[in-house]
Amino acid sequence: MNTSSTPNKTSLRKWIVAVSIVIPIAVAALFGIKVEGVDFSFLPPIYATINGITAVLLILALIFIKNGKVALHQKTIQVALGLSVLFLLCYVAYHMTSDSTLYGDLDANGKLDEIELNYVKSSRLAYIILLLSHISLSVAVIPVVLFTYLHAWEGNYQKHKKWAKYAFPIWLYVAITGVVVYLMISPYYGH
């Protein structure tokens, strides 16, 4: 690697920390902005599919590296990273243009009445627990994945491998639970 044209390790690490802080704050702030007159209601199944494809790619990347196919592993991870960025853009675009959906809101009026609460019962609690774990780990996965990628990019494969032991299951969990959360909430999207 040509060190004269690449950023130094300290600046890359600072960049990763900054991105890991800025992205969740920006996403949270953007939830407070509503853009009227734009309909992105078609996006949830698309970003759920992106999550599903990401999960498949992560499993393929693991298979590739276990079989010594380093180049395929690298390309697969790069595509998974690109899809994660695309997911984030779609997710933010949807939430900036659409009202939040409540799990169990059968009449899509933005409120849960007693009949709706009785209908969903304990599945609502399961949904909320799954959603909260998905959201919190989606924040945590940003620096873990970026540092894991950085170690590989720097050629420090021993450190990359140590970080990947955490990055892989967290990223895979976030990708899979993204699909499950969508499948659970989709019946309640407004019509």
Q: What is the CA radius of gyration of the chain?
A: 19
> Is the pTM of the predicted complex or chain greater than 0.75?
yes
Q: Any idea where the domains of the chain sit in the sequence?
A: 39-188
- 79: which residues sit within 8 A by CB, 6+ positions away? 57
pLDDT, residue 82, reads: 97
Question: Per-block average pLDDT, block size 10, for the chain (191 residues)?
Answer: 58 92 90 87 96 98 97 98 96 90 89 90 93 96 96 94 97 98 91 50
Tokens 């990763």 correspond to: 16
Closest residue by Cα to residue 185 from 115, 95, 114: 95
Q: Looking at residue 110, what is its pLDDT? A: 86
